[in-house]
Amino acid sequence: MEILLVRAALAPSVVLLASVVARRLGPRRGGQLLGAPTTSGPFLLLVCAESGPGAAGRAAQGSVASQLVVAVFCLVYGRLATRTRPARALPGALLAAAGAALVAAAIAAAGTGSGAGGGTGGAAPVVACALVLAVVAAGLRTWPPTPPDRVPARRPRRWETPMRMAVSGVTVVVAVVAARELGTYAGGVLCSLPVLLSVMAPAVHRTTGSRAAAELLRGALTATAGTVVFLFALATGLPRLGAAGAFPLALVAMPAADALLRTALARRPGTGHMP
């Protein structure tokens, strides 16, 4: 019950905070907040407290796999945003994300056999993490220049932000309830799917314009590199180190991965520039 309540409260709070950040600091900063482990981290901490580090490690494995879905969603929507309307960009991004989910499921199925009894460990998290980092790096390197909007931005209506919060909260509750029936691995997958991005991206696209939507998704894609390393550190560290060792390790690994990504992209001026 605690996990359900916390997850149901966190998702709308992150949507509200991302809306404020995007309005005050720019859509890319809002996207970075949405791409960070702002909900998956607390979710895994609660799983660890309730069911132990082994179960939390298994859930973290699922979260690592689902970051491939997040990265592909950001990549596809970010490129479609400047070419078409939200009503077409969202289905296109969701379709691509579904394909990424099939790839992630195939990696999990192939990799769990190398773990002890199909538990935590094995090659699946390593392969998934490497693939996510490759997708993020390639996406940022080839990210096209964002043209100016042809349609002026409009002021969001008062009911739009509460509606986004309500939709995200209901979706997360459904996901958490489903995860309880399907197991901790599925819970980790579901808690990290791009639910909040699929709510925020079309909303920003409609109200602020295609350029802002593309910047939001670019920011989220940038943050995904640190997030997947954070989750990978938990997936591999929780069964061995427990929460006291794994979570500090993950918190150190996340900014280190972000710094390495920035350094790698900075070697090619004009491509994948990061703020």
Distance CA 30, CA 46 (A): 25
Rounded (10°) angle between helices 195-208 and 86-111: 160
Q: Span 164-193, mean pLDDT? A: 66
Give the span between the Cα atoms of 269 and 275, in whole angstroms: 13
Q: Taking the CA atoms of the chain, what radius of gyration do you get in angstroms?
A: 18
- 179-186 long-range contacts, CB within 8 A, separation 24+: 183/58, 184/47, 184/51, 184/55, 184/56, 184/58, 184/59, 184/62, 185/58, 185/59, 185/61, 185/62, 185/108, 186/62
Domain ranges of the chain: 2-266
Model confidence at 117: pLDDT above 50: no
Percent of the chain having pLDDT more than 90? 25
Q: Indicate if the pLDDT at residue 63 is higher than 90.
A: no
pLDDT on residue 247: 92
Q: Range with the lowest mean pLDDT among 11-15, 137-141, 199-203? A: 11-15
- Percent of the chain residues topping a pLDDT of 70: 71
Q: Which of 37-41, 55-59, 164-168 has the lowest mean pLDDT?
A: 164-168
**For range 185-194, the mean pLDDT:** 74
115 pLDDT band, cuts 50/70/90, is: very low
In this structure, the dihedral spanned by the alpha carbons of residues 208, 206, 27 and 69, taken in order and rounded to 10 degrees, is -170
